[in-house]
A = this chain, B = another copy of it.
Amino acid sequence: MKETQDRVPEHPGELERVGVTNLRTLVKTRAGYRFVPTIEVTVDLAPDKKGAHMSRLVESIVELVEEESSEVQENFESLCRSVLERLEKKHPYSKGRISLETELVIGKRTPVTNRKTMETHDVYIEVINENGKYKKILKVNVFGNTVCPHSKEKIGKPHIQRAKTELTVETDFEKKVLLEDMVDIVEQGFCSPVYTLLKTPDESKVVADMYDNPKFVEDVSRDVIEGCRRSFTSPMKIRVRTIAEESIHRHDVIAEGRYEI
- Chain A interface main SS type: mixed
Please tell me if the beta carbons of B223 and A14 are within 8 angstroms of each other in the complex.
no
Please tell me if the beta carbons of B26 and A120 are within 8 angstroms of each other in the complex.
yes
Q: Map CB proximity to B onto A45-67 as digits: 1 under 8 Å, 0 otherwise.
A: 10000111011001100100110
Residues of B within 8 A of A115 (CB): 62
Q: Which of B116, B145, B221, B251 contacts A15 (CB 8 A)?
A: B221
Please tell me if the beta carbons of B255 and A15 are within 8 angstroms of each other in the complex.
yes
Please tell me if the beta carbons of B194 and A250 are within 8 angstroms of each other in the complex.
yes
27 contacts between A and B (CB under 8 A): A4-B150, A11-B226, A20-B252, A21-B251, A21-B252, A21-B253, A25-B105, A25-B120, A36-B120, A50-B216, A51-B219, A54-B253, A59-B197, A62-B115, A62-B117, A120-B250, A143-B250, A150-B200, A151-B203, A154-B203, A159-B203, A160-B161, A160-B247, A161-B245, A194-B246, A196-B249, A210-B248
Please tell me if the beta carbons of B105 and A26 are within 8 angstroms of each other in the complex.
yes
Residues of B within 8 A of A253 (CB): 18-21, 54
Please tell me if the beta carbons of B62 and A223 are within 8 angstroms of each other in the complex.
no
> A210 to nearest B CB, angstroms?
7
Known: A26-B120, A58-B197. A218 touches B17 (CB 8 A): no
Please tell me if the beta carbons of B254 and A62 are within 8 angstroms of each other in the complex.
no
The residue of chain B having its C-beta at the shortest distance from the C-beta of A153 within the complex is B4
Please tell me if the beta carbons of A52 and B14 are within 8 angstroms of each other in the complex.
no
Residues of B within 8 A of A4 (CB): 149-150, 153
Please choose the segment from A27-35, A74-82, A129-137, A167-175 that sits at the chain B interface, where 4 or more of its residues have CB less than 8 A away.
A27-35
- Alpha-carbon gap, A23 to B251, bound state (A): 5
Residues of B within 8 A of A101 (CB): none
Please tell me if the beta carbons of A3 and B161 are within 8 angstroms of each other in the complex.
no
Q: Which of B16, B62, B117 contacts A257 (CB 8 A)?
A: B16
8 tightest Cβ-Cβ pairs between the two chains A and B = A23-B251, A160-B160, A24-B120, A26-B105, A145-B247, A4-B150, A11-B226, A51-B216
- Alpha-carbon gap, A157 to B147, bound state (A): 12
